Structure 1
Amino acid sequence: MTYLLKLLHLRRNEVPRLGLAAALFFLVQIDDGIVKSVASAVFNIRAGVENLPLMYTWIAVLFSLSMILLSWLTAKVARQRLLLGMMVGVALVFAVNAGMLFLQHSGFLVLANDLANDYYSFLFVSSEIARTLMNFQIWIVAGGICYVSRAKVFFPLLASSAVLGDISGGFAVRFLGSLLESYQLYVLATLNMAVVIALLRQLMRRYFVGQQEGDESETVGLGENLRYFTRSYYLLLLFGLSLVIFAVYTTVHYGFNVVAYEYFQAADDSETKITEFFGLFFGLTGVATLFVTTFLLQRILRWIGTGSVYLWVGVVYVLIAVMLLGVFTGVFAGISGLEWALMLAFLPVLAIFIGNLINYLLLDSVVAPTYQVLVKLVPARNSDGTRMIMEGSFMLLGGLVGAGITALHAHEILTMAELFALLLSMGLVVVVCGYLLTRSYTTELVKAVREQNIDVEDDQAMQALKGLLANDPDFSRGLLLHRNDGVRQMGIEMLRQSPGPAVEQVCLELFDHENVRIRAAALEAFTLSSADASAATAAVLGRLDDADGEVRLSGVQTLARLIDEAELGVDDRTAIGATVVGHLTAESQAGLRAECLVVLTRLDHRESASQRDEVLNALLADDEDIEALIAGIGAAGRIGAVQAHTRLLECLSHQYPAVREATVHCLGVLEQDEGLTALMGMLGDPDPDVVAAVVVRLGRAKSLKQRMVDELSQRPVKQWQGLLGALIAQDDEEGLNEALVASCRERLVQASRYLVAIDRLEKTGGPAVQLLVDQLRLQNSQVQDGVVRLLGYLGDVGVVGDLMERLGAADEEARESAIELLENIADRELLAQLMPLIESDRETQLTMAYEVSGWRAGELDEVLGYLLHSSNVWTEIATIWAAFSLGREALFDSVAGELAQQAREVMEEIKSKRGDAAMAEDQPLTTMEKITFLKESPFFASLPLEELYHIALSMEEEGAREGVSVIKEGTMGDKMYIVVSGELEVKKEGGPRFAVLGESQVFGEQALLDEEPRSASVVALGDVHLLSLQRSSLERILRRYSSIAFNMMRILSQRLREAQATS
């Protein structure tokens, strides 16, 4: 079972969903097979095939109106209700038709000829529209079901279930047609629909996730979409071809009905025979569809190319028309040597059977999926609207054209042979237009690439591009010469993935281009495809002496790829080694030297071994040369320089996040135990990019899996969150899921305790207590993010995120639906413990927290005592400060030895100042007092405690007496200030006062961002106490804590907007 799940990329919790969905799709398509077989047979025999053209007209018109109505209802009715309502409506149509047929069969209802024809017309049209809408809606269900699964196999499995249902429905009619009457088959379909509705209700309630209104991307109006459509030669061709093919499809199917009717009408049990015949046809159609979609379709698309599909569809229709013409004009009967004497009577029905079978396969299995690929070239802005215009129009007009053509035969204007001659001419039109579409598709493809409007995940489009790149040097050249950097970079990636003579020729030609960036791009895109490696090697080596450093670097990187990808001769390897060694000198740029190390190591160039060690050590030696250090770290990882391991461990504490991030990747590649263990400690790094890199690397460290599991309960929340992400990345469902869920439950219990603690603390109040409350909320937010990540892993991360947003909806029904969906696609118990963190109503949240945690905090000392045992140092520090501010110093006597070193230092600092109460006013502010002032300032209020702590350490205390200018207009400044006590006025020199600054307000912050003169003076109105932060100190902090920079940028941006709004 486990092997099968891994093979299908399914999770165990997705199996019930798949089983339920597969059963639903199977049963729906059984109904489809039954209804279309029986409805066609009843109408043909009882109403006559001469009325089919009129029915085709009604179906085309009513289906278009139904789609318009559905579009309107979609905006008015919830998707789940609309789908269920549609299915109930389909069941009612089947039931009404079953009842009418029963009344006729039993003799309770006798209809006059005209009225009977009207009823049979209603039966046929209503059944066709009902089953078509049923199929249309069920694939909306598929979208919602597949949306909650990241398993790409989900959609193909549902499609396979649907095809198997089609096969079963057809063959059920074939074998039951002689045993059951038509009304009984309709009753069977109605009962089956009742089961479908029951399954659908369960499936949608538990697993269906529809798109929210706010999720839809920006679209444009009908007028603009219509203009876009009418001005696009490509779309007009695609529209015209779709219309003609739809009309051809209708014509062939009409011929099938006519021939079947003529063949079976003389039989005593003609309705039974033709019903069985239709059942056999639709059953075999299902089998053929399964075969084509499973084995042939992808091969066909690769062989002939997506853009050429319509051309070859036209060719097939021409061959079908030729075959049918030959049969119905008697040409085949006159061919001597054919021993078909006994088959001549069966030949027309056999020929039309084969022709219609291919007709069905072409439309459903080839044209429909190809159309979906071709319309992807429509820009996203116009996609939905343009598709609605096209699809609604060609289905309506194609149906009407088909009805008009078949009416020519129904009214005896054309014979059957003449009808198929007309079909032949239509096939030739498809061939010609298909050829034009092929050329237009190429043009649109090129345009889409140049406008970066192509989906790289679209296999068919990328396959077509690869063919274009392989055969069209001008296209390849145009990508590399494009002025847009994004297009050029996309071209580089595409050319490297599509090696061939044309690509190699273009790149070699552009090596000598006058534009530096194009030379570099050609080198990056170059891939050897010919057997002559020497010429390519010489051409690349020639670029190592280029005047531009970027080109030289690209040249060495290209050599590294050549060594890996091509079989180079001894002479070529020698030439590369001799040339590259010359670039190891100190005069070369750091990145170039690092790449040279990689090339020489891959060549196993022994002559330069000692020199390479020296160069690597030089790159890693200087902590101040960031470019060289990062280049050296990258090279160490790529060449497996284990000897540099000690130095790399030192780089983990470098002040620049980029250096730490590069080191993390390097240690992950080297896979040394000491390095991987050190990475676990980096999960607490202040830079999110560094943490993300650690998670990626630990996610690949299988040797650390058990140790990471053991550490889950011991690490602080931030590090726990990283360990959780790394273990999720290991994707070991059998070995890890239970441990991960258990760890999340443990953290959620703690988070609920924090909610209880927050409620008790907020009743106390005070700045120090608020600092602790904010820290606890941050901890809970990190726990919530970690649990949601696990829920996403158990279900689908995008869906879980979507549903989490819906939990905050005001609509109680939507909220309950989201909860049930989360319970079914992820873990029910885990979600129940997560709910207190999500709940917005405070009273309900607290009740939930009591239930989850089993704890009701009574006394404040109990709360503070619990929080002092936190595994997070910042929570400990915040608790210490809150306890001191509330006069609860005695709490520390029993736990002082258990506190983290940093927390003990804070505690001793506070005690030292509190111990000398007489001098307290004259003593410097403690770090926690500075943090309190920072937190009360709007400028710093949103920063977390960890960031505030490091800012506070760099802040200096200053004082000024009345009349002293703290900032003087026109002078250069490098400080910002925060008011601890006192007041200052802001004014222009010689001008009136226009602002007064008081406690906790910030001024002079612009000096941290620019070196412009001060725009106003700030003068003390009395004795003032200030905290100041120099630009140089902030820059030092930001090197390590880049998140502070983003927070301050957001704050400054908000202040700027507020200033602009009031000016």
Structure 2
Amino acid sequence: MEIVLRTLRRIGIKPEDRRKLWLMAPVFLVCGIAESLNYNGFMTLFNQRLGSVYLPYVYAAEAVILPLEAWGMSWLAGRLSKPALMRAMYAIMFGVTAANAAVLLGLRITGLDWRFYYPILFLSSNFVVRQQTILLWSLAVDLCPTQQAKRLMPIFVAAATLGGIAAGLLTQAVNPLFGPDAVYALGPIFLLAASFNYRKAIQRYLVPLTLKGVSDSEAGSGPAAASALSSSEYFRRTLRSPFLLGVLGLMTVMPALYFLMEFVFLNTAHSAYPGEADFGRMFGMVTTALFTLAFLLQAVSGRLMGWLGASGMLTAIAGVYVVSFACAFAFLDSSAALAVVSGGYMLTYLLIYYSAEPSYQLFYKTLPLQQRDGFRYVAQGLASFAGILLGAGMQALHTVFGWGFPLLAAIGTAGAGALFVLSWGVRRQYMKELVRSIQTFGLAERELAGSFQEFHRNAKTMGAVLGMLRGEEAEARLVALEIIGRTQDARYLPELLALLEDEDERIRAGSLKAMNLGSADLQAMIRVASLVEDPDSEVRVQAVRQLALMKHLQAQAFFFLRTKLLDPHPAVAAEAVKAMYALESAQSYEACFEVISQVLEAGGEPAVPICRAVGELRLVRFAEDVARMLDDPHPSVRVAATSCLGLLRHVPALPLLLGRLSAADLELRRATVQAAVDMGGAAVSPLKARLPEASPKEWEVSIRVLSQLLPDEEVKGWLAEQAALKLADNESRSPLPAAFRSVGREELATLADMRLQELREAVREGAWAVLQRLTDEQVTAAIRRTLADEDEEARSGGLEVLAEGVGERRLSQRLAAALQADGDEAVALAADAARRAFEEVAASSDDWWREMAEEWKRGEERNGMPEERGTLGRLNKVVFLKKVPFFADLSLEELGLIAGFAEERSYGDEEVLVRRGEKNSALFVIVEGNLELTSVSAAGWEGTLGVLGPGDVCGANSALDESPSAVTAQAFFGSVRVLSLEREDVTRLVRLYPEIGIGLLRASLARIRLLEEMMMRFDS
């Protein structure tokens, strides 16, 4: 097993891929066997019992049936959900093959010879082969996100190919003994065997993805995402576009030529092997060889595609078609006819089904994303119909007009030659379309990256790119620079060096980034080094980065780089540290370490890029220095230090990181999660030890990290149990809001409601993290979207899926029960029960519950005595801020962060807080007293704009946009007490918590309306 896991890791399979791999790979393997047995059986039976001369008529009938089949599939898809459709289609395929097997065995037992039945067998079995391929690949695409699909699809293809090889060997063994009808009868047995994993994959992954509100259109893919163009408009545009018309021609002619080669092969084989047993054994050998070649082709197809490109691949395929038909024409009258024709048949089959289709997909990626599917579906429909008719027509030249097979091979050679010419023309059109699509859409869509290998080899297309580079439009020049950068071609260095004098700093930085200086001379280095003093910091960063790559001029690079260690911009200095370290000399190491020590000792925000550099370079010697920066007053420094300690795998700092989570904002919490994950297996034991007594934030972070670090068995066992226990324990706090209400503390009851909801969300986030590890990110995301739907029926569907068991059944069911209990009304508590609840929660690991219990206790001790005025604690600040409209919609956690930043200040009567015309660095929330707002009109007279009281906010606009204040605010009729929030704290919170920004926006709009009303009064 360990060998298998090592092999999977070596080929890029991640742990989260394995469950789908173990579930779906057997389906592809067994269904591949069933498909090949089905194909071998019905082709042998048709050709031996009816005759291959009837193939043109059957293909013509199939061409007529295909549109009806497409209509029927569309009708069925419109009336069934995706999981139901997948199950129904599999059942239909099994039913068709099982019914055919029963008829064949019945004919064998009774000795009847129903010749009219074999066209029905051919058409129905070909339907199964066609739909089975579509069905399995559709399921795999639906189940796997894009990046996961890239990792798993090659294995699924390999499994299906191995299934074909196994079927070929099985055919060779079974056919001589029991005949082709027995070979065919094995197909439904294998389909039945694969159905168990098939249905399990649908239930486990597809059902959650198809809940209400989760559609292909949301993901921006699939037919639903196509634009509003009609089918007729797609058809007209296809016919008007030389490129699309050429692609349509390729998609039509190539399968038609394959059908012709198949016809020649079957007739030649029938002449050589007239008996069913011999023909079946021969067909099994061809199938084995065919899928062995397919397996080998898959091993090199990626390299071939990268080397030839999409258009070059099709041109090469057309060339193989020419050679195959030419050889068939040359050897048809010789003893090597069957071997040559068999080889041509196998090559044409492999190339059309395994190599041509990916190239077609790349062609359509030059179109706008919203229109690709529409054009592709129209082209596939037209090509399928026309290709079968054209192939049947060429076959009819023999069956109807009596033309010989050498003449058919000659026609095939001519057709393949025309295909080669057409593919060359399409290649030229593709290059034009690729340039146009890049000019139109830029590089926002990374899907065009697969075309760049062939793109940069074409002189005309690269000439167009250079034309973009020399143009006036900055955006087009940036796109051209990115394309040139992808080529890493040193021939463009002179062109790029000339752009270093450009006025646009983006062009200068892009030029540096696109350069390949691996073999550049000293003059080029001097040109690049001149930009290390550029006024733009990003340009300096790119210049330093490029100098570090010129290791063939190491001494000169050291000379230019050492001065940048003291660059005034921290990002440039950090890049210089990495560049000097890359020079790998004792002198450069010493210079790096000296600068790092100085910056870390000084601390502050300039240390942020240096922390990142220390982490990237894995400089463990500075771990203790970085750990001391966790106490830095700047939040960004604490975040950078946390991330750095994770990269350094400094596990001794983990308890300190976890202990600071109670006062951590969202960014620091995310950094802590990633740092613990980066520490790897060494972090598991400390996390598991702290989990039982962890505070809520610690618990959530620990669960998230452990769900990524622990093996599947432990996640499904111990970790899932911990999450289920926490869900139950969290619900034990549900009576607390009612308890506070029963003792008359409504403000504490409101905070308790907020805290209870936050804890529920935190614990459930941990539970979702465990379930995501045990299932799939797509599945959990789909269920969560459904549970958030406003429609009650949709939510019920999501709860039902959870109750059935997702990932780990007990945890999933516990989570479903907790979600269902959200709407339950709390039962009122007696005073004694409330007091017991407060005493119990006073010992909680959650600081909010402890503070609420202490506040209740202080209230009891006062026993109705008036509270003395004093400094507000965190809880009292939160109670106050909750009543301020500015912050009314914020959560308890967000209010707590604001309360932590807020500084309480007092100002005497007529003392100025904000002065008109001066910049203001803080906003103020009035706790007690009043503020008078005054300003000066255009005429020069001063007037009062209004008076603010408790709960109002002053100075927000000037504090946030750093502009001079338009008003003067001063204490009015006595002293005023305020909460002051500094600009840096507020802007950081707005960035991390959008709800805070929305609250600020609402309050600002209200103030604007107030000022407008006052100005109207002034005008009147």
TM-score bucket of the superposed structures, by smaller chain: 0.7 to 0.9
Of residues 527, 541, 555, the one that matches 2:543 is 555
The equivalent of 1:799 in structure 2 is: 779
Q: Cα distance 1:857–1:219, how it changes in 2: closer, same or farther (>3 A)?
A: farther
Q: Cα distance 1:938–1:190, how it changes in 2: closer, same or farther (>3 A)?
A: same
User: Counterparts of 1:662 and 1:510 in 2: how far apart (Å)?
Assistant: 35
User: Counterparts of 2:132 and 2:671 in 1: how far apart (Å)?
Assistant: 48
833-842 or 357-366, larger mean C-alpha shift: 833-842
Shift of 1:598: 4.8
User: Counterparts of 2:389 and 2:153 in 1: how far apart (Å)?
Assistant: 33
Q: How does 1:1016-1055 map to 2 (within 5 A)?
A: 1028-1030=978-980, 1033-1035=981-983, 1037-1038=985-986, 1041=989, 1046-1053=994-1001
- Contact 1:38–1:182 under 8 Å retained in 2: yes
Does residue 376 of structure 1 match 2:365?
yes
- Contact 1:725–1:789 under 8 Å retained in 2: yes
SS of the counterpart of 1:943?
coil
Q: Cα deviation per residue 1:211-241 (whole Å; 9 max; x = unaligned)?
A: 5326342431233645664555433322211
Does residue 27 of structure 1 match 2:30?
yes
Q: Cα deviation per residue 1:389-414 (whole Å; 9 max; x = unaligned)?
A: 12122112211221222222221163
Structure 1: tracts of 5 or more residues without a match: 334-343, 848-854, 890-913
Q: Cα distance 1:472–1:236, how it changes in 2: closer, same or farther (>3 A)?
A: closer
SS of the counterpart of 1:652?
helix
Structure 2: which amino acid aligns with 1:690? L
- Contact 1:857–1:863 under 8 Å retained in 2: no
The Cα RMSD (Å) is 4.9
User: Counterparts of 1:639 and 1:44 in 2: how far apart (Å)?
Assistant: 68
Q: Cα deviation per residue 1:812-862 (whole Å; 9 max; x = unaligned)?
A: 884366327753xx322332333344336534x999xxxxxxx99992233
User: Counterparts of 1:195 and 1:573 in 2: how far apart (Å)?
Assistant: 64
Of residues 119, 122, 128, the one that matches 2:120 is 122
- Contact 2:923–2:982 under 8 Å retained in 1: no
The equivalent of 1:164 in structure 2 is: 162
Q: Cα distance 1:729–1:187, how it changes in 2: closer, same or farther (>3 A)?
A: closer
The equivalent of 1:386 in structure 2 is: 375
Shift of 1:66: 1.8
Structure 1: which amino acid aligns with 2:810? E
Of residues 781, 785, 806, the one that matches 2:765 is 785
Shift of 1:690: 3.0
The equivalent of 2:1015 in structure 1 is: none
The equivalent of 1:911 in structure 2 is: none
Q: How does 1:185-334 map to 2 (within 5 A)?
A: 185-209=183-207, 210-211=209-210, 212-213=214-215, 215-217=218-220, 218-223=225-230, 225-226=234-235, 229-230=238-239, 232-264=241-273, 267=274, 270-293=275-298, 295-328=299-332, 330=333, 333=334
SS of the counterpart of 1:221?
coil
The equivalent of 2:801 in structure 1 is: 818
Structure 1: which amino acid aligns with 2:53? E
SS of the counterpart of 1:378?
coil
Does residue 692 of structure 1 match 2:692?
no
User: Counterparts of 1:1029 and 1:155 in 2: how far apart (Å)?
Assistant: 59
Structure 2: which amino acid aligns with 1:327? F
Structure 2: which amino acid aligns with 1:300? L
User: Counterparts of 1:747 and 1:483 in 2: how far apart (Å)?
Assistant: 62
- Contact 2:470–2:477 under 8 Å retained in 1: yes
Q: Cα distance 1:594–1:937, how it changes in 2: closer, same or farther (>3 A)?
A: closer
Structure 2: which amino acid aligns with 1:933? F
The equivalent of 1:893 in structure 2 is: none
Shift of 1:1014: 7.2
Shift of 1:771: 0.1
Q: Cα distance 1:860–1:538, how it changes in 2: closer, same or farther (>3 A)?
A: same
Q: Cα deviation per residue 1:470-520 (whole Å; 9 max; x = unaligned)?
A: x98647756866888887777767666653432545434434445443233
- Contact 1:788–1:801 under 8 Å retained in 2: no
- Contact 1:95–1:186 under 8 Å retained in 2: no
Shift of 1:613: 7.5
Does residue 537 of structure 1 match 2:525?
yes
SS of the counterpart of 1:920?
coil
- Contact 2:905–2:977 under 8 Å retained in 1: yes
SS of the counterpart of 1:754?
coil
The equivalent of 2:7 in structure 1 is: 7
Q: Cα distance 1:760–1:192, how it changes in 2: closer, same or farther (>3 A)?
A: farther
User: Counterparts of 2:66 and 2:319 in 1: how far apart (Å)?
Assistant: 30
SS of the counterpart of 1:220?
coil
The equivalent of 1:707 in structure 2 is: 686
Q: Cα distance 1:57–1:725, how it changes in 2: closer, same or farther (>3 A)?
A: same
Q: Cα distance 1:732–1:402, how it changes in 2: closer, same or farther (>3 A)?
A: same
Q: Cα deviation per residue 1:703-722 (whole Å; 9 max; x = unaligned)?
A: 44432332333432223333
Question: Share of identical aligned residues, percent?
Answer: 22
SS of the counterpart of 1:377?
coil
Shift of 1:782: 1.5
Shift of 1:549: 5.4
- Contact 2:258–2:349 under 8 Å retained in 1: yes
Q: Cα distance 1:97–1:722, how it changes in 2: closer, same or farther (>3 A)?
A: closer
Of residues 878, 901, 912, the one that matches 1:931 is 878
SS of the counterpart of 1:430?
helix
Q: How does 1:873-912 map to 2 (within 5 A)?
A: 873-882=847-856, 887=860
SS of the counterpart of 2:403?
coil
Of residues 931, 934, 944, the one that matches 2:891 is 944
- Contact 2:720–2:811 under 8 Å retained in 1: yes
The equivalent of 1:502 in structure 2 is: 491
- Contact 2:842–2:854 under 8 Å retained in 1: yes
SS of the counterpart of 2:767?
helix
Alignment length (residue pairs): 981
Shift of 1:135: 2.4
User: Counterparts of 1:402 and 1:919 in 2: how far apart (Å)?
Assistant: 97
Q: Cα deviation per residue 1:141-194 (whole Å; 9 max; x = unaligned)?
A: 333454599586543333333223333334434433343355555544344444
User: Counterparts of 1:817 and 1:1045 in 2: how far apart (Å)?
Assistant: 32
User: Counterparts of 2:218 and 2:149 in 1: how far apart (Å)?
Assistant: 22
TM-score, with length taken from structure 2: 0.82
The equivalent of 1:38 in structure 2 is: 41
Shift of 1:316: 0.8
Q: How does 1:735-746 map to 2 (within 5 A)?
A: 740-746=719-725
Structure 2: tracts of 5 or more residues without a match: 1013-1020
Of residues 48, 66, 71, the one that matches 2:69 is 66
Shift of 1:741: 3.9
Does residue 773 of structure 1 match 2:753?
yes
Structure 1: which amino acid aligns with 2:748? A
601-610 or 196-205, larger mean C-alpha shift: 601-610
User: Counterparts of 1:1017 and 1:584 in 2: how far apart (Å)?
Assistant: 46
Q: Cα distance 1:1049–1:365, how it changes in 2: closer, same or farther (>3 A)?
A: same
The equivalent of 1:900 in structure 2 is: none
Q: Cα distance 1:560–1:660, how it changes in 2: closer, same or farther (>3 A)?
A: farther
The equivalent of 1:901 in structure 2 is: none
- Contact 2:647–2:679 under 8 Å retained in 1: no
929-938 or 996-1005, larger mean C-alpha shift: 996-1005
- Contact 2:886–2:1002 under 8 Å retained in 1: no
The equivalent of 1:429 in structure 2 is: 418
- Contact 2:252–2:384 under 8 Å retained in 1: yes
Q: Cα distance 1:1043–1:740, how it changes in 2: closer, same or farther (>3 A)?
A: farther
Does residue 658 of structure 1 match 2:636?
yes
Structure 2: which amino acid aligns with 1:713? P
Does residue 753 of structure 1 match 2:732?
yes
User: Counterparts of 1:820 and 1:6 in 2: how far apart (Å)?
Assistant: 36
TM-score, with length taken from structure 1: 0.79
Shift of 1:128: 1.2
